Structure 1
Amino acid sequence: MPEQNLNKLIEQYLEYLEVEKNCSLLTIRDYRHYLTRFSQWLSPTSLSPSVKKIDLETVKKYRLYLAHLSRGQGLTLSRQTQAYHVIALRSFLRWLIKNDYEALSPDKIDLPKMESRSLKFLDADQLTRLLNQPSVGNIRGLRDKTILETLFSTGLRVSELVGLNRETINLERREFGVIGKGRKARVVFLSESAADWLGRYLKERLDSWKPLFIRYPKKVDPAVDGEKMRLSVRSIQRIVEKYVKKAKLPMKATPHSLRHSFATDLLIAGADIRSVQEMLGHKNISTTQIYTHVTNKQLREVHEMFHGKGK
């Protein structure tokens, strides 16, 4: 008789994502979180529920639970985060059916309609103000300045940035390799400014830890494992938020805003979209094409400002 224990099947599914789908560890971690939350909701006791308990009515109740779930300080999950939970569940159900389990068809579960998100990117003045905020007279400020410069210079995802190790950076060639979404490898290039700040930051590092960007607590044990010193995704987000506030920017910029700024800057300067796709590590060109809506608007403004004015 096929396995019906939900928790065991979730583990098998996560192994499938890692081995056969070649998903990143970050994706697997997220899917584990979403599916574990579903399993715990379905069976609050320690007993693992059966996949047979998952029907359309159960999914409706679960979505209602997600809509009211508090994440602290009176805040609820965003619609996007709720959608991620449903996407993970649908994907899991699709895997069950593919492996001949009797399970609810994922096609019966509608995804919530999401509002199209406007791209947030910084103009040249805002970018300069942001990059000039860190005080580089101490190692933390120097690190933060280097992080901001590297994010804008490379267009890295924040998850890619935190995974960098010192040994992978070639400052002489101003490039390094990175493994992005779907374990896709690409070469990333540094501007002269970013390479200069990276060199200055690494010169001040007195430790021998592998991670490129590390935290600086008040007391540090030199014998501690370097991985424990690596900055997390949330730490990078907080660092960017800190300097966005200091720069008094009229928007809630994030590390991803610097990625958007990188892409729009290249396209406005005349880079072809295929090259930008490669630099961003996008699997599909359609993902990169969202930036053309922004750059087309900018080009229209230039056209209206200058075209025919010399007549």
Structure 2
Amino acid sequence: MQLSNLITDFLEYLELERNVSQLTIRNYDHYLKRFLEFSGDIGPKDIDLSLVRKYRLYLSRWTDPKTKRPLKRITQNYFMIALRAFLRYLARQDVKTLSPEKVELGETEARPLKVLDDTALKNLLEAPDTANKSGLRDKAILELLFSTGLRVSEAASLNCDSINLSRQEFSVIGKGSKERIVFLSDSASEWLGRYLDARKDTFKPLFIRFQGRIDPSNSGEAMRLTPRSIERIVEKYVKAVGLSVKATPHTLRHSFATDLLINGADIRSVQEMLGHSNIATTQIYTHVTNAHLKDVHKAFHSGNK
């Protein structure tokens, strides 16, 4: 069987057996098609170290036809990670090919984690004008993101009946269709309540647009804010308050995790609340909180008295 057919089988395996999100499948499709274009529709036994090395060189020298920019090293690694996952699948199917362990990733520089300090966070959360429905919605979005650490796609998918304001908690389906419980702060619960009280519709989505044509069909699904819309809302307020950090919804997720750790939460609990399947993913936040340890040492060590 040739590479093109095996790649199709792999993508179907991800969807049916691994229950991977459609976004992840599209990404794997994109990465593996690039390898297919490079290698040609060869057989799996023709994938060897020499071919992989040439492919890495090709990625390293590739430039975007429009921008003339090369691929970032971390992006090059995404292509190699997809190839390694594909080879791992082939090995499970007893298809003779290169061992996935032989596909190495290039070293990358650690990306600085964007986290808002207390002043920047306070300014951002207070930026929306809550005298109107759009401002109430935006305030509720910002408070929710910081209170729960939700991914932007998770926030966009919420429905009005998803939220339990009295218990100040609700379940969300995250990456890999994993369910987890997230919690609302008093502030987030208050502003979500105000926002919902101001809405006079019966639409199902929690966060809806207030501009454009009203479409009540399918319980108002067409009124739902998309993840990109929520990103634009955050971007608007980041610019309005003049933050030095180019903050996004994911920055609020980082700030959520960092806030918990600095204030004494254990890393396993933070892992659960973020929905990370691997503790190593959560440990990136320890690099940020380690800086806080210096302040703790200065304040409490007897040698500093």
TM-score range, shorter chain: 0.7 to 0.9
Aligned to 2:158: 164
**1:252 alignment partner AA:** K
Aligned to 1:214: 208
Deviation at 1:41, TM superposition (A): 5.5
Q: Structure 2 residue aligned with 1:269, among 259, 263, 266?
A: 263
Contact 2:214 2:223 in 1 (8 A): no
Q: Count the aligned residue pairs.
A: 303
Residues 129-178 of structure 1: CA deviation (Å, up to 9, x unaligned): 11111223333332222111111000112222222222211111111101
Contact 1:207 1:222 in 2 (8 A): no
Residues 252-308 of structure 1: CA deviation (Å, up to 9, x unaligned): 222222112111211222222222222122223333233233223213213314544
Aligned to 2:245: 251
| Residues 258/201 of structure 1: CA separation in 2 closer, same or farther (3 Å cut) | same
| Structure 2 CA distance for aligned equivalents of residues 140 and 229 of structure 1 | 13
| Structure 2 CA distance for aligned equivalents of residues 131 and 302 of structure 1 | 27
5+ unaligned residues in a row in structure 2: which ranges? none
| Structure 2 CA distance for aligned equivalents of residues 173 and 192 of structure 1 | 11
| Structure 2 CA distance for aligned equivalents of residues 301 and 139 of structure 1 | 41
| Residues 168/101 of structure 1: CA separation in 2 closer, same or farther (3 Å cut) | same
Q: Structure 1 residue aligned with 2:30, among 23, 30, 33?
A: 33
Does residue 284 (structure 1) correspond to residue 278 (structure 2)? The answer is: yes
| Structure 2 CA distance for aligned equivalents of residues 56 and 176 of structure 1 | 48
Q: Structure 2 residue aligned with 1:237, among 231, 240, 252?
A: 231
| Structure 2 CA distance for aligned equivalents of residues 126 and 28 of structure 1 | 36
Q: Structure 1 residue aligned with 2:16, among 5, 16, 19?
A: 19
| Structure 1 CA distance for aligned equivalents of residues 74 and 228 of structure 2 | 18
Contact 2:125 2:142 in 1 (8 A): yes
| Structure 1 CA distance for aligned equivalents of residues 219 and 82 of structure 2 | 33
Contact 2:298 2:304 in 1 (8 A): no
| Residues 117/167 of structure 1: CA separation in 2 closer, same or farther (3 Å cut) | same
**2:18 alignment partner AA:** K
| Residues 268/228 of structure 1: CA separation in 2 closer, same or farther (3 Å cut) | same
Contact 2:143 2:191 in 1 (8 A): yes
Q: Structure 2 residue aligned with 1:191, among 185, 189, 197?
A: 185
Aligned to 1:144: 138
> What SS class does the counterpart of residue 217 from structure 2 fall into?
coil
Scaled by the length of structure 1, what TM-score is found?
Answer: 0.84
| Residues 258/285 of structure 1: CA separation in 2 closer, same or farther (3 Å cut) | same
Scaled by the length of structure 2, what TM-score is found?
Answer: 0.86
5+ unaligned residues in a row in structure 1: which ranges? 44-48
Q: Which moved more, 1:281-290 or 1:162-171?
A: 281-290
